[in-house]
Amino acid sequence: MTERERINLDDINPLDYPNIRVQQVATGSQPKNTGYQILETLIIGRHTPSGFKDYFDGANMPL
């Protein structure tokens, strides 16, 4: 199954709670096969090195 999501970044606030996540492409391989997937990460809570100061605070990082 293949799916996709298209988001116009001009229409959303990337620091609103539903938008605080990271999606990365991951690759796995065996001798005869290669697979691809999306790894989605959500961090909740204070993490000073990443810039998260409060429970639902997203790091304000430029794209």
Q: What is the pLDDT of residues 32-62, one digit of tens each?
A: 999 988 887 776 777 777 777 777 676 555 4
Mean pLDDT, residues 19-28 = 80
More confident residue, 4 or 63: 4
Which of 8-12, 13-17, 45-49, 55-59 is most confident? 8-12
State the pTM of this model: 0.36
Q: What's the confidence (pLDDT) of residue 63?
A: 46
Of 63, 60, 52, 62, which Cα lies nearest the Cα of 15?
60
Return the HEC string of the chain: CCCCCCCCCCCCCCCCHHHCCEEEEEEEECCCCEEEEEEEECCCCCEHHHCECCCCCCCCCCC
Q: Which two tokens stand for residue 55?
A: 């429970």
